[in-house]
Structures are given as C-alpha cells and as structure tokens.
Structure 1
Amino acid sequence: MKDNIRYSCWLIDNIKFSGKEFTKTINFNGEKIELLITKYENLKDIEEPFHDWIHNKIVNHSMRNLSNNPLPINSIFVLTKNGYTNHNSQDFSYLFRLCLKLVYYQPTLISKVSEFIPDAAIIMPTWENVRNMRTISKNEITSDTFNKVLSYFDTLSKLDRNCYSVFEEIYKKTEINEVLIELLALYSFIEGFWHNQRGKSNIDKSIRAMLQDYIPQKEEKFKREVIIRKIKSQNELFNQSSIDKMRNILAHGMYKSQEDSWSNKQWKAIFEQRNLIIELVIDSLVNRLKCENQLSS
C-alpha cells in the first residue's frame, strides 16, 4: 500500500526577515523535499491545499487561541511544497526543526510542526517556552543563512539519532533567558566536553580544543587565534582579559555586585559573546561528529 503524503509547516518569530521569499530543496531518505520560506503577506494567493490550511486553519485557529503565542500573521512560514511520505514524517520533522533551532537559536521562536495530511488530519502548530522576549534576535533569515540549516541537516541525518541529544542540551542553554547564566552554562559545557581528561580542567585549554574542531585545518591557526583575541577583547571591557577569570566572575556570583554599573557597551559585549559562543559550540560539535562519522564509515 502506498504511503500517504503529508505537508509540513513551521512558524518562526522574533527574528529579522526581509519578506523576500525563497525556495530550497532538502534530501531525506531518498526523497527531495521542496521548501518555501516566506511571510504571511506573500501567501494570500497560494494554491491549494495550502490556502485553506494556512488561512482558514492555522491563522484563524491561532487568532482565536492567542494566549501568549506569537501572531501567525507576523511570523515567517517554512512550508514543504511537494510533501513527503508518512514513513519519513517523524524523523524528518524532528530533525528539521532541530536544525532550525540550532541556526536560529533563542531569542528566535520556532513552532512545533503543523502538518496537513490530505483527507485525514490537520495538526496545528504549537509553541514552547513562549515568554516576553527582552530582545529581538540579531540573526536574520536569508537564503544564505538558511543554507546552514540544510548543511546541518545533511550532516546530522547521517548520524545516529542518539547524537541529537547533545544539540538539544546546547539549545536549552540558549533559552534560559538570563544572558549571564546562559554564558556561564556554555562556558561550563565547553570546559567539560573539550577537557582532555588529563589533570584539572581549564576553560582556556578547552576553548582552544573546541576551536580545533571548529577550524580543524592545521594551517588555519591564525583564524583560531583571531577568535581567541575577540573573546579576550570583549572580556577586557570588564578588566578581565583571561577567559578563566571572566568565567569565575559568573560562576561565583561576583557579577551581582557589578552588573548594575555596567555600561551599554559592556552589555553589548556580553550579548555578542553569548551569540559567538553558541555558534562556535554548535559548529564545532557538527564538525566533530561529521569527522567521526567519516572515520568510522
């Protein structure tokens, strides 16, 4: 019996998007799935089955049951235009959303999947951990940044699903909604995960070990040093060029007696470092697992 076809939709909120729609193609288990990334205003004349699904189901339902959820008319829509077979549905929708979260991390909001199964069912999108966001994401959805979603998907789809848990752990650290605690949690993860198991752990050494995964080519040592210098220059705004000493300020609560006097420039450096560390950790993990998978195959 031939599998039924289903279509998926994710809503993305609290992130910059020009409104200029674009398409991408993703491969999963032998299927080519066409994606449309667009905004609500561009969907007014979309063909069926999408028109009824989006306008009469997703939007109308969401507008009647807002709670604290984002308005769908203000969200970015990611649609699977040609559908895919049911036997791929659970693995595909989970992994694709995970990759969206890794590229467009908090404070960007990404709904759980909405699904349309012709002549069977419609599953509405739902949101997790929605709260009043203090900031809008500095990231932007563009054709170029979306290529990273596809790259992550291509790599992770070749790995055992057990590998996904480490990425979920990192994502949870980005949704604490307290930037200093998030930064401390990321430092702690780096120090433990990239510790060489010899002697006492050291955040400076662990970050250098992480950067070996981020930029594995030996001849690219200069690029790794540029990143180290960037982090240290951010910390120098707090009179702490050492990464270890900056981590200690966060770990031992010393920041509580200082943060009220921090300038806008200092807070900007904190948020920029938080975003930089998130991206370094995720890219380094993806590269590491990709390399390990290639060696074992």
Structure 2
Amino acid sequence: MRYGCWLIDNIKFSGNDFSKKVMFEDKEIDILITNFQNSKNIQEPFNDWIHNKIIRHGMLNMVNSPMPLNSIFILTLNGYESENSYNFTNLFKLCLKLVYYQPSFVSDTAEYIPEAVITIPNWQGFRQSHTISKLEINSKTFDKVLYYFQILNNLEIRHSHILEEIYKISGIDDVLLELLSLYSFIEGFWWNKKGKSNLTTSFLAMLGQDYAPGKENKDKREIIKSTIQAQNGLLRNPKLDDMRHILAHGMYKHEESSWNKDQWNAIYEQRNLLFELVIESIINRIKNVA
C-alpha cells in the first residue's frame, strides 16, 4: 500500500477543503484537496509527511521549485496498491495537468510507503511564470479531472502523446504564441478535406464533430462561436479566424503596444477557452472512437 501527493502552484483556491473519490482497479480511493494552513490539522501520517518532509525540504530547495507554502495539496487518504501504482499516478497527474494547465503547475507524484519510503514532490520542468493563473481548483473543476481519468482509465490509456503536446503549448509562456500554436493545431487536426486548409472550417468541425456534436448541442456551439467572435471584435474584426490572422501575419507587432486592458483580457480569456475546447474535444474523440 502506498499514498500519493501532488502539489499545484499558481492556482486559485477558496481556502475550503473538499474531498472526492476516484475508482482504480475496482478500488475506491479517497482524495483530499487542501492547502498548507488547513493541513496543519490533518491526521498522521500526512501531517508529518507534509510539514516535516515536503514543506521543510521545499523551503530549503526553492531554486527550481515554487514555495510549497503557497501550493495546493492533493492527497490520497486511503492509499492504493503498489502493483500498477505507476499507471494510477501517471494517468492521474496527466488529468490534473489537462484541467490545471500552465501557468498553473502540477508537481510529479510524491509517495509515502509505510515503513519503507517517503519521497518529495519533484517539479521537473518548472519555471517561474510572471502570469497569474485565472484557473481555480474547486469541486466543479476537479470533477473534470475525475471525468477525464475515468474515460482514459476505462480505455486503459496510460499516456497520450497528443494530450501531452497540447499541454506543452501552455508552457510557451507567451500568450500570443500559445494562441497561434493552438489555432495552427486546430486548423490541421480538424481539417477533413483535401487541398488548402481553412481555419474556420476546421474550427467548426472541432465543435460539431467532437466538442458538442448533434442538433441538441447547437446552442452550445453558437455560444462558443459568439464568444470568439466578440473577443476578436475587440481587436479588429468579429470573425472566427481573425485572431489567427492577426498573429500569423505579424500584424500584432504593429498593434500590441496600443492594446488596452480589455483587449489583453480578451486575448488571455480566448487562450484559456481554446485550451479547454481542444482538450475536451480530443478526450471526446478518444472516447467515441474506442
């Protein structure tokens, strides 16, 4: 039996702990989401693990890692079997990253094996971002983590190169390049015809084939389209492909210095919206073609 712990840096949290359950190999695993302050009252062995191991080590080794006092802790309270533990921790971390993508940052898995081993979270790939994440970890957003985990686990998918590649885009740490990369991916991945691709056609294919297919989801698709068009209209033209047009042709270099707060907010909001659209669309495609 072993217990897992993940830390998430640069994430909003109300300060109210919450609990969830996840199924893995017919075992129900209890999960607690907490912060440093609340964890002072947690039962052993977690109190010692967090405060005397993770926190102490983290405060002494902050050169390439965030301050653990500010991180959110995700703990498996009743543990999981050592056999196939890598499959569980690897997939669970992937699902955490897909929902709490960068500039939020998820640590590697730390594990506690009673009377054997205690490991400390590794922040491999971490680099300080000047962008404050607008993502929030709460009961609703964590349900999406569990939903993704359930789908991928049921299909025995332990690793997904395509989902990992999308996650890497979120770490470019330049919102304009991230947007351009996402639009390029959408145009190519959802282009189902021969000849020169077209972003608008590909974007509508993503919405209609994978994100929200069917007549019953028409309103959902229209809301997404209207949102993108309104955001683009704040910069130039209210067209689905106008943001990509501005970025791909270098127009932004002549205009970005004059963009106001509302325009920059629209850019960051669109960046986050595209990440969530692409990730959920790919998850749905994986589920439906299996």
Alignment of 1:157-196 (within 5 A): 157-161=153-157, 164-196=160-192
Which letter does structure 1 place at the counterpart of 2:191?
Answer: H
Which letter does structure 2 place at the counterpart of 1:136?
Answer: I
State TM-score, norm by structure 1: 0.93
After TM superposition, give the deviation of residue 205 of structure 1 in Å. Answer: 0.6
1:261 paired to 2:258: yes
State TM-score, norm by structure 2: 0.95
Q: Give per-residue Cα distances to partners, 1:178-231, cap 9 Å, x unaligned.
A: 000000000011111111032221110111011011111223223212211211
Which letter does structure 2 place at the counterpart of 1:154?
Answer: Q
Q: 1:46 aligns with which of 18, 42, 46?
A: 42
> Matched residues in 1 for 2:32 and 2:140: separation?
14
Which letter does structure 2 place at the counterpart of 1:66?
Answer: M
| Structure 1 stretches lacking a partner, 5+ long | none
Alignment of 1:1-297 (within 5 A): 5-161=1-157, 164-212=160-208, 213-293=210-290
After TM superposition, give the deviation of residue 238 of structure 1 in Å. Answer: 1.9
> Matched residues in 2 for 1:190 and 1:46: separation?
44
Would you say the 8 A contact 1:39–1:75 is kept in 2? yes
Instruction: Count residues in correspondence.
Output: 289
After TM superposition, give the deviation of residue 42 of structure 1 in Å. Answer: 1.4
Which letter does structure 2 place at the counterpart of 1:75?
Answer: S
RMSD in angstroms over aligned alpha carbons? 1.4
Which letter does structure 1 place at the counterpart of 2:218?
Answer: K
Q: In structure 2, do the counterparts of structure 1 residues 39 and 218 end up closer, same or farther at CA, with 3 Å as the change threshold? A: same
After TM superposition, give the deviation of residue 281 of structure 1 in Å. Answer: 0.6
> Matched residues in 2 for 1:219 and 1:23: separation?
33
More deviation in 207-216 or 131-140? 131-140
SS of the residue corresponding to residue 227 of structure 2 reads helix
> Matched residues in 1 for 2:147 and 2:139: separation?
13
> Matched residues in 1 for 2:158 and 2:96: separation?
18
After TM superposition, give the deviation of residue 82 of structure 1 in Å. Answer: 0.4
Would you say the 8 A contact 2:91–2:159 is kept in 1? no
Would you say the 8 A contact 1:29–1:88 is kept in 2? no
SS of the residue corresponding to residue 210 of structure 1 reads helix
Q: Give per-residue Cα distances to partners, 1:127-167, cap 9 Å, x unaligned.
A: 13333322221111111111111001001112353761111
Would you say the 8 A contact 1:9–1:115 is kept in 2? yes
